Structure 1
Amino acid sequence: MKKTIWAGVMLTALLTGLILSAPASAQNAVNDTANHPYWVEMMQDPSANFFETQKAFNTYWEGREITKGSGYKPFKRWEYMMQQRVSADGTRPAADRDIRAYNEYISRNSSRTSAGNWTPLGPFTVPSGYNGYRGLGRVNAIAFHPTDANTIYIGAPSGGFWQTHDGGQTWESYTDILPTLGVSAIAVDYANPDVIYMGTGDRDAGDAPGLGVWKSLNGGYSWEVSSNGMGNATVGRLLIHPGFNNIILAATSNGFYKSVDAGANWVKKANGNFKEVVFKPGNPDIVYAAVGGTFYRSTDNGETFTVISNGLSGGSRGVIGVSPADPEVVYFLVTNSDSYKGIYRSNDSGLSFTLRSTTPNIMAWDCNGGSGGQAWYDLDISVDPENPDIIHAGGVNIFKSTNGGTNWFITAHWYGGCGVQSVHADLHVLEYNPLNNRLYAGNDGGVYWTANGGQSWTEISNGLVISQAYKIGQSATNKNFVINGYQDNGTSTYTGTEWIAVGGGDGMECAFDPTDDRYSYSTVYYGSINRIFNHNSQGQIAGQGSNGITESGAWVTPFLIDHFDGNVMFIGYKNVWRSTNIKAG
């Protein structure tokens, strides 16, 4: 390939992704942000100032190595999304801002209708290629019909609530009209499966606002808000009492809530950012919950809680696993902000714990763990319902233990290395279907299941229109040609009849040549730009260390093609750069 010539234009690149300057008040960050990742807690706290959160993140990462799966990228995604929405002083928008504005508009324009003429274009199917690297979108929640094994429900962080009635061959959704499309928890009434509760918001990354619990009375075809007393919380987990289906427990971003009237009203029972709640099998009076790496135990069905510290030493985030095969056994998998701290086992229903292992680092991206991880973002655990010694857990990849957490080995890898099958990176939920004992996994690419303990995995993501698009580009000469960049699922081009994968990683800014639709361009983070010809990638033409460029740009780096000359491109890195022969080679 001929070397593409880039010329640096010495201008301050204010183009680089809506860079905002922090006000003076934002300089007072949390103490010791250089050594403790306070930014994790701050980004998930709606009241935390955006600029202070941004500064805490930058201070923590100054001088640190940014490794794969370190958690750096999920924050940068959140930062890019949030910086376009905050006020000048760094105040974040209220969770219900949009629905309040909508309701006010409708009240002033009563003759208007909310109906629209929109048709989904997809992507509907996972692009060709190894599926551990390409998928459709992130899944935060999985739930099951109480009597029909083929009816499964999933929740996406910005794609809504979806259901299948044929085991995942086809999917359908009826939540596109809701004021938030973030779903992180689902609970199905075992006595009347037409009644479904949905916990809104994005538990793991804050990509969608939380508006409490919503309820459906017709199997998910229509929804009404059901969060009186809870308010605009992000709901991370929901449980229905197995003996009294009007009693529901909710782990939320602003406390632990309980309803005794089927979700009509909620009462806060404990303060804190709860992300986990689990019943003791066979005894719902005993409830386990977690705030960060702190383990909570209740003996009165969530009315009151006691912090359990016997054998535990805290951490940044923890998840809880139990098995009906031995109700006395409880696992508490605890992480630091990034890596695996350890798994603890209780044999007395959570009164005391014993450390089982601290290695390997099952949060990391390598075959044997490695260093780093992003446990604050991707984490879950599930214990075999027939054997309390068999555990599946992970973060970037999925690991398994057959001796109660003492030893671990990998069962799914993000691109199919390590002698195991490829399963898309970044695990968010693991759930056993009690009707067929299949283990289901939700991750940044979609949904998978295994019926043989992780020896093989089947993907059932096709049909889920849940991709999170960074940018969209349309050809000026062929209206059917559209190119999209997706969070963690590459870049794809729509040809009018199908989607074709044209790039990997995080797909970002993208565009077609203004006069020749055979050429298009895609990017990944910090401004690495690829040229595409007839929907086939021809490789990188720009980015730090490429064709004379000596600097990188913003997380989403902007570029512009000359409207009259498709050979000319401008890119905003630290400076603005220009090429006059981007088609060379």
Structure 2
Amino acid sequence: MMTAIFPSQVLANTNSWSQLALEKVGIMDLAVDPARSETLYAATTQGLQMSSDSGTTWHSINKGLPASEATSIAINPTNSKNIFVCYDGEGIFKSVDGGETWVAQNDGLPTLNVRTLVFHPKDSNTLYAGIKGGVCITSNAGSKWSPTSGFKPYTNVNDIAFNPQDPSTVYAATGNDGVFKSTNGGVSWKDINTGLPSLSIFTLSIDPKNPERIIAGTYNAVTPTDLYVGDVYGGVFYTNDGGAHWQASKALSSVTIFRLVRYPQNSNVVYASTLGGIYRSIDGGINWTDINAGLANEFLHALVLIPQKDAPLLLSGTPNGIYTYTDQEWNSLKAKISVIPKWVWWTAGGTAGAILVGLVIWLILRKRRKGKEKQKYAW
């Protein structure tokens, strides 16, 4: 069970970002120990860093690691002493002692260009690595890797996401060929790009309550010609049917999206770290509002969310260290909106206007129901 971190522990301001640590250090990825949330890891331009006090102080844990930029971190959800870190050019390294020592785990990898690494949600011995050329899988905790089929040799895989209700369905975000989907546990893959004008994808986020709803964060690839003809490139795209069709989120278009993170208590709340700040959506990724107060640098590559009792705590990695943010504002939004029912989303048909109509109807019905309940229980 995750230990709660309170805002005072990480010096996070309410509704305003504050710098936490690692000033002048470029942050590529952030990870939280699933057993002890006061223990944090950062993949940086100066290797791997670790904090045991909620991010106040950090120290290098690079014994046995390359002297180069780390790209991604994965922590075993059932044994947090087992940590993997990957490098785009040096491969994958594993620690079984909480980061004190590291050993290369590259047997079977066709390339050492590794962008991301994720654990299978039901088997901690099985991991998926996103590489230049597709996805590789290990079933023995990294001792041996096996390539999968369906990707081109030059395809860079930046992110991998599982259907939380059916882990045999897996999605991969690529840097040049769009989104790929596997329905056999990752053995074979097929692209699902209908409606995606930008095929450069950094990140994916799947709604755990409705896995058919997926958000993709893409690169900003706008050119003067694109602007002239009115095409949308970069930004957020979403699908309601498991990737069969994609639509653009007009409220956050033509922006490079690095990370998408959902709030566990309400999966309609999504945060996006971008090349223009941090944005929050409260309708599953269709409309977005910036929450950039206090940010000195808007190039926000890494983003993690630590659930708390009162409000979400966000940590973001920038080229100038780590920033924190406690989103107390979400409490007021939550009180007004509560949990949006599924039928409101499906009434939308993919348009924000219809979503508003559905939401208004639901609020009217909800008000009438509460009025009847009040009469029923009046003394």
Name the TM-score, length of structure 1 as normaliser: 0.47
Q: Secondary structure at the match of 1:283?
A: coil
What displacement does 1:155 show? 0.5
State whether residues 73 and 117 of structure 2, in contact with CA within 8 Å, keep that contact through their aligned partners in structure 1. yes
CA distance in 2, matches of 1:254, 1:173: 31
What displacement does 1:451 show? 2.9
Task: Show the counterpart of 2:376.
Answer: none
Return the letter of the residue paired with 1:174: I
Once the two structures are superposed, what CA deviation does each residue of 1:404-425 show, in whole Å capped at 9, x if it has no partner?
A: 333322211xxxxxxx222433
Once the two structures are superposed, what CA deviation does each residue of 1:385-407 show, in whole Å capped at 9, x if it has no partner?
A: 23333222221311222233333
Q: Secondary structure at the match of 1:304?
A: coil
**Are 1:275 and 2:163 counterparts?**
no
Q: Which structure 2 residue ranges, 5 or more long, are not aligned? A: 1-17, 224-232, 331-379
Task: Show the counterpart of 2:314.
Answer: 439
Closer/same/farther in 2, CA of residues 285 and 451 from structure 1, 3 Å limit: farther
Closer/same/farther in 2, CA of residues 454 and 333 from structure 1, 3 Å limit: farther
What displacement does 1:193 show? 1.2
Once the two structures are superposed, what CA deviation does each residue of 1:46-79 show, in whole Å capped at 9, x if it has no partner?
A: xxxxxxxxxxxxxxxxxxxxxxxxxxxxxxxxxx
CA distance in 2, matches of 1:256, 1:189: 19
Task: Show the counterpart of 1:183.
Answer: 70
Return the letter of the residue paired with 2:69: G
State whether residues 297 and 308 of structure 1, in contact with CA within 8 Å, keep that contact through their aligned partners in structure 2. yes
Closer/same/farther in 2, CA of residues 325 and 441 from structure 1, 3 Å limit: farther
Closer/same/farther in 2, CA of residues 225 and 217 from structure 1, 3 Å limit: same
What displacement does 1:178 show? 2.8
Closer/same/farther in 2, CA of residues 445 and 312 from structure 1, 3 Å limit: same
What displacement does 1:159 show? 1.0
CA distance in 1, matches of 2:160, 2:168: 13
Task: Show the counterpart of 1:214.
Answer: 93
Q: Secondary structure at the match of 1:166?
A: coil
Once the two structures are superposed, what CA deviation does each residue of 1:128-156 show, in whole Å capped at 9, x if it has no partner?
A: xx969x93211111112121111111111
What displacement does 1:240 show? 0.7
Return the letter of the residue paired with 2:158: K
Return the letter of the residue paired with 1:227: N
Q: Secondary structure at the match of 1:247?
A: strand
What displacement does 1:241 show? 1.0
Please, which of 219, 228, 234 is the counterpart of residue 341 of structure 1? 234
What displacement does 1:194 show? 1.0
State whether residues 411 and 454 of structure 1, in contact with CA within 8 Å, keep that contact through their aligned partners in structure 2. no
Please, which of 320, 324, 329 is the counterpart of residue 449 of structure 1? 324
CA distance in 2, matches of 1:333, 1:306: 19
CA distance in 1, matches of 2:142, 2:269: 34
Once the two structures are superposed, what CA deviation does each residue of 1:340-387 show, in whole Å capped at 9, x if it has no partner?
A: 5342222233333333326554x3xxxxxxxxxxx3xx7222232233
Closer/same/farther in 2, CA of residues 453 and 446 from structure 1, 3 Å limit: farther
What displacement does 1:288 show? 1.1
What displacement does 1:177 show? 5.2
State whether residues 82 and 98 of structure 2, in contact with CA within 8 Å, keep that contact through their aligned partners in structure 1. yes
Once the two structures are superposed, what CA deviation does each residue of 1:158-197 show, in whole Å capped at 9, x if it has no partner?
A: 3111111211122222205533332111111122211111
Task: Show the counterpart of 2:134.
Answer: 255
**Are 1:317 and 2:222 counterparts?**
no
Once the two structures are superposed, what CA deviation does each residue of 1:515-574 show, in whole Å capped at 9, x if it has no partner?
A: xxxxxxxxxxxxxxxxxxxxxxxxxxxxxxxxxxxxxxxxxxxxxxxxxxxxxxxxxxxx
Return the letter of the residue paired with 2:248: L
Which structure has the greater CA radius of gyration? 1
**Are 1:410 and 2:290 counterparts?**
yes
Task: Show the counterpart of 2:344.
Answer: none
User: After superposition, where does 1:360-371 map in structure 2 within 5 Å?
Assistant: 361=254, 363=255
State whether residues 286 and 298 of structure 1, in contact with CA within 8 Å, keep that contact through their aligned partners in structure 2. yes
What displacement does 1:224 show? 0.4
State whether residues 251 and 288 of structure 2, in contact with CA within 8 Å, keep that contact through their aligned partners in structure 1. no
Task: Show the counterpart of 2:7.
Answer: none
CA distance in 2, matches of 1:260, 1:198: 17
**Are 1:396 and 2:283 counterparts?**
no
Task: Show the counterpart of 1:68.
Answer: none
CA distance in 2, matches of 1:191, 1:452: 29
Task: Show the counterpart of 1:353.
Answer: 246
Closer/same/farther in 2, CA of residues 331 and 265 from structure 1, 3 Å limit: same
Structure whose residues are more often strand by fraction: 2
**Are 1:425 and 2:319 counterparts?**
no
Q: Secondary structure at the match of 2:276?
A: coil
Structure whose residues are more often helix by fraction: 2
Task: Show the counterpart of 1:155.
Answer: 43
Tell me the percent identity: 26
CA distance in 2, matches of 1:317, 1:246: 27
State whether residues 425 and 444 of structure 1, in contact with CA within 8 Å, keep that contact through their aligned partners in structure 2. no
Closer/same/farther in 2, CA of residues 246 and 131 from structure 1, 3 Å limit: closer
Closer/same/farther in 2, CA of residues 451 and 285 from structure 1, 3 Å limit: farther
Closer/same/farther in 2, CA of residues 257 and 242 from structure 1, 3 Å limit: same
Please, which of 122, 135, 142 is the counterpart of residue 243 of structure 1? 122
What displacement does 1:302 show? 1.2
Once the two structures are superposed, what CA deviation does each residue of 1:69-101 show, in whole Å capped at 9, x if it has no partner?
A: xxxxxxxxxxxxxxxxxxxxxxxxxxxxxxxxx
User: After superposition, where does 1:22-33 map in structure 2 within 5 Å?
Assistant: none
